């Protein structure tokens, strides 16, 4: 890189930043003045209604007399409570992810033969197009698996004979291929990341047709292909819990926004991957573990509430952790008293921790969950019913399963690809939908053009 490149000059970049700051301040009082729905949220905190969906339903409060009244959270896939769905396939001793994918995509539970055929189809589609790994993953590695995944999804466009065909048949074909291939891309992107960025040996395993999605993933990312039945069942449950979350979550909405423009499947899904990567969305599962790394180093006595509260205060004040001021894993746009997914994952985390001798770490997570609302209130002065979200305990569960941190958010994507595909199809094959085009209030004063020789 050239040293004299202007872009490398701190002074020049500093002067551009000053120029930007001089002209780009927007008075925060304008949001109220012009009734702007910040974050597409109404004044009472409920989301702006942007569409209709039959896919997922997220319930976290009831509105009474114009106020949000907190309640225990419920997550419903195609009318079926996720807890009932899980109880059903667990008690019938089946893997549940393929069945969930079928339900979310088509709108009904599959019968035995439909499930068998669908599972076989997904397993058959796992192999990537010829030379894809060599040309698209190995040749342009990335230190971040989500970044590589987004780029690989976009690259699949070139390998698709009908990338722009928006017919239902074609969208379903593309969806099934993506659901099957995303885990293979993630496994290969991770192997390549380890090789090029962590100086490890490169191993690439071929996807297995006789395995469930959860088993195949564990087989694919482990050097020796080894996994236990319990691990595969737990990962399967995690995939089911992450598969869908309504049309308004940031990544599904991103997918729907792009789909509403009429663009292709790969552009829409790559946008959703980019959204999920964000630390306030799916990227929070990795951030939670980094934050706990910091809490574990800072707090000497993990049983001392006062010491933990002081540490959380430092985090909210942006003086500890990544400086964002966020306690990752806490808070949700819809859930208030509880996120049902976090409740389930916490149960598994507790029993796994007891088996693995990690109960002390689990207890620290639970204490942070308990103390966060109190600390939030004392620092921000806001009473807010705040609960742990799905990202609070998922990383801990993965850690106890020896799944590396690089794969936490990609695992979210491997599951959520199902929801994204279902929302894309619903967005396109629904006669009521229009291109999404909200408004922005322009607040810059108008001014005349100044000729060059009169500018200061």
Ligand X SMILES: O=C([O-])CC(=O)C(=O)O
Using CB under 6 A as the criterion, which residues of the chain lie in contact with ligand X when the complex forms?
58, 245, 249, 333-334, 389-390
Question: How far is C-alpha 9 from the geometric centre of its chain's CA atoms?
Answer: 36
CB of 390 to ligand X, least distance (A): 6
CA distance 108 to 129: 31
In the complex with ligand X, the residue whose CB is nearer, 187 or 390, is 390
- Binding segment for ligand ACO (CB under 6 A), chosen from 102-110, 206-214, 294-302, 383-391, is 383-391
**Residue 331 touches which member of ligand ACO, ligand X, none, C-beta under 5-8 Å by kind:** ligand ACO
Question: 188 or 346, CB closer to ligand ACO?
Answer: 346
Q: Which stretch binds ligand ACO (CB under 6 A): 54-62, 156-164, 178-186, 279-287?
A: 279-287
**Catalytic residue of the set 245, 391, 406, 423:** 391
Residue of 398, 309, 320 whose CA lies nearest to 352: 398
Q: Does 282 bind ligand ACO (CB under 6 A)?
A: yes
Kindly state whether residue 333 participates in binding ligand ACO, applying the rule CB under 6 A: yes
- Residue 99: partners with Cβ closer than 8 Å, 6 or more residues away: 85, 89, 109, 110, 115
**Residue 332 among the catalytic residues:** yes
Task: Check: CB of residue 171 under 8 Å from CB of residue 425.
Answer: yes
**252 counts as binding ligand ACO under rule CB under 6 A:** no
Active-site position among 332, 339, 406, 423: 332
Q: Is 330 in the site for ligand ACO (CB under 6 A)?
A: yes
Question: What are the residue ranges of helices labelled H in 125-228?
Answer: 132, 145-155, 168-197, 213-221
Q: C-beta of 145: minimal distance to ligand X in Å?
A: 19
268 and 305 in contact (C-beta within 8 Å)?
Answer: no
**What are the residues whose beta carbons fall under 8 Å from the beta carbon of 282, sequence distance 6 or more?**
251, 276, 391, 409, 412, 413, 416
Contacting ligand ACO (CB under 6 A), which of 82, 316, 364, 414? 316
φ, ψ for residue 143 (rounded to 5)? -70, -10
Provide the minimum distance between the beta carbon of 349 and ligand ACO in the complex, in angstroms, as a whole number: 16
State the nearest-atom distance from the C-beta of 73 to ligand ACO, in Å: 11
Stretch 35-54: interaction string toward ligand ACO, x if CB under 6 A? ----x---------------
| Closest distance of CB 271 from ligand X, Å | 15
| 259 in Cβ contact with 424 (< 8 Å) | yes
Structure tokens at 242: 């992450």
Q: Taking the CA atoms of the chain, what radius of gyration do you get in angstroms?
A: 24
CB 425 within 8 A of CB 169: no
Quick one: tokens of 9? 């000059």
Shortest reach from residue 331's CB to ligand ACO, in Å: 2
Nearest distance, CB of residue 56 and ligand X, angstroms: 9
In total, the chain counts a number of residues equal to: 456
Task: Please state, in angstroms and rounded to a whole number, the distance separating the CA atoms of residues 197 and 328.
Answer: 26
Q: Does residue number 365 form part of the binding site for ligand ACO (CB under 6 A)?
A: no
In eight-state DSSP terms, residue 135 is I
Q: Could you give the maximum distance between any two Cα atoms of the chain, in Å?
A: 79
Residue 284 contact partner, candidates ligand ACO, ligand X, none, CB within 5 to 8 A by sort of partner: ligand ACO
Region binding ligand ACO by CB under 6 A among candidate stretches 69-77, 172-180, 185-193, 321-329: 321-329
316 binds, among ligand X, ligand ACO, none (CB under 5 to 8 A by kind): ligand ACO
Please say if 391 is a catalytic residue. Answer: yes
Our CB check for ligand ACO shows the closer of 328 and 408 to be 328
Binding ligand ACO by CB under 6 A: which of 119, 265, 389, 409? 389
- Note whether 408 and 414 are within 8 A (CB): no
Per partner kind, with CB cut-offs from 5 to 8 A, the member of ligand ACO, ligand X, none near residue 193 is: none
Q: Which stretch binds ligand ACO (CB under 6 A): 214-222, 263-271, 301-309, 326-334?
A: 326-334
The alpha carbon of residue 116 and the mean position of all alpha carbons in its chain are separated, in whole angstroms, by: 29
Q: Does 266 help bind ligand ACO (rule: CB under 6 A)? A: no
Non-local CB neighbours of 58 within 8 Å, separated by 6+ positions: 73, 74, 75, 76, 245, 246, 248, 249, 334, 335
**What number of helices (H) and strands (E) belong to the chain?**
18, 3
CA 143 to chain centre: 18
Cβ nearer to ligand ACO, comparing 223 with 380: 380
> Does 329 participate in binding ligand ACO (rule CB under 6 A)?
yes
Is 247 one of the binding residues for ligand ACO (CB under 6 A)? Answer: no
119 lies in the binding site for ligand ACO (CB under 6 A): no
Q: Which residues bind ligand ACO (CB under 6 A)?
A: 39, 280-282, 284, 316, 325-333, 384, 389-391
Catalytic residues: 332, 391
């Amino acid at each position: 890189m050239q040293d004299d490149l202007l872009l490398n000059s701190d002074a020049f970049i500093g002067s551009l930043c000053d120029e930007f700051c001089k002209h780009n301040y927007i008075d925060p009082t304008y949001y109220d003045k012009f009734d702007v729905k910040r974050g597409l949220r109404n004044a009472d905190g409920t989301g702006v209604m942007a569409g209709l969906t039959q896919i997922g339903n997220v319930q976290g409060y009831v509105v009474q007399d114009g106020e949000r009244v907190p309640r225990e959270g419920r997550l419903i896939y195609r009318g079926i409570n996720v807890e009932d769905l899980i109880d059903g396939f667990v008690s019938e001793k089946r893997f549940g992810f393929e069945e969930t994918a079928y339900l979310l995509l088509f709108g009904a539970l599959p019968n035995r033969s439909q499930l068998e055929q669908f599972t076989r189809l997904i397993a058959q589609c796992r192999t990537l197009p010829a030379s894809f790994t060599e040309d698209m993953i190995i040749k342009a590695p990335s230190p971040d698996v989500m970044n590589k995944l987004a780029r690989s999804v976009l690259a699949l466009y070139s390998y698709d004979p009908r990338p722009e065909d928006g017919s239902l048949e074609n969208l379903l074909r593309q969806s099934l291929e993506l659901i099957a291939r995303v885990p293979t891309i993630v496994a290969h992107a991770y192997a390549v990341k380890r090789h090029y960025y962590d100086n490890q040996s490169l191993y690439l395993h071929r996807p297995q047709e006789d395995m469930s999605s959860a088993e195949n993933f564990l087989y694919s990312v482990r050097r020796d292909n080894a996994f236990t039945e319990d691990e595969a069942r737990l990962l399967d449950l995690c995939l089911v819990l992450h598969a869908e979350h309504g049309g308004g979550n940031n990544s599904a909405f991103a997918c729907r926004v792009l789909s509403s423009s009429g663009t292709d499947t790969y552009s829409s899904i790559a946008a959703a991957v980019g959204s999920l990567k964000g630390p306030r969305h799916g990227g929070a599962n990795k951030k939670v573990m980094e934050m706990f790394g910091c809490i574990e180093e800072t707090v000497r006595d993990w049983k001392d509430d006062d010491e933990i509260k002081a540490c959380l205060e430092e985090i909210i004040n942006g003086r500890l952790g990544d400086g964002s001021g966020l306690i990752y894993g806490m808070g949700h746009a819809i859930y208030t008293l509880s996120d049902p997914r976090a409740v389930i994952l916490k149960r598994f985390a507790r029993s796994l921790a007891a088996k693995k001798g990690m109960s002390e770490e689990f207890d620290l997570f639970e204490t942070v969950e308990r103390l966060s609302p109190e600390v939030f209130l004392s620092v921000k002065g806001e009473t807010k019913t705040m609960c742990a979200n799905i990202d609070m305990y998922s990383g801990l569960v993965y850690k106890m399963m020896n799944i590396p941190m690089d794969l936490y958010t990609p695992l979210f994507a491997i599951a959520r690809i199902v929801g994204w595909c279902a929302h894309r199809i619903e967005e396109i094959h629904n006669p009521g939908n229009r291109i999404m085009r909200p408004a922005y209030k322009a607040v810059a004063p108008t001014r005349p053009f100044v000729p060059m020789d009169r500018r200061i």
